[in-house]
């Protein structure tokens, strides 16, 4: 798991059918109190801009979906309450 801050949403007017419905978020990953990189993550929880979130990446993110073959590389798995 990684901690990040939601910087905004990405709006796609056209997307692959394999991409599940939900929001795509721009997230700055935080390591040692500093931004390490920005990633795009699928969000089934409804996190908002400015909130801290927990994400997972790679095969663990894909495995969350029943089919196991979703075109997802990063997944929001929690919203941090502080």
pLDDT, one tens digit per residue, over 46-64 is 999 999 999 999 877 777 7
Element (H or E) spanning 34, and its range? strand 34-43
The contacts of residue 22 (CB under 8 Å, 6+ apart) are 42, 43, 44
Quick one: CA torsion of 68, 37, 50, 64, rounded to 10 degrees?
Answer: 10
Per domain, the residue ranges of the chain are 2-12+21-79
Q: What is the reported pLDDT for 37?
A: 95
pLDDT band at 67 (very low <50, low <70, confident <90, very high): low
pLDDT band at 69 (very low <50, low <70, confident <90, very high): low
Class in CATH terms, 2-12+21-79 = mainly beta
The structure's pTM equals 0.85
Q: What is the reported pLDDT for 68?
A: 62
């Amino acid at each position: 798991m990684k901690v990040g801050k939601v910087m905004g949403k990405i709006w796609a007017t056209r997307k692959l059918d394999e991409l599940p419905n939900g929001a795509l978020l721009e997230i700055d990953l935080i390591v040692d109190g500093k931004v390490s990189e920005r990633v795009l993550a699928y969000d089934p929880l409804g996190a908002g801009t400015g909130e801290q979130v927990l994400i997972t990446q790679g095969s663990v993110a894909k495995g969350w979906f029943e089919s196991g073959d979703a075109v997802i590389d990063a997944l929001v798995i929690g919203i941090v309450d502080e």
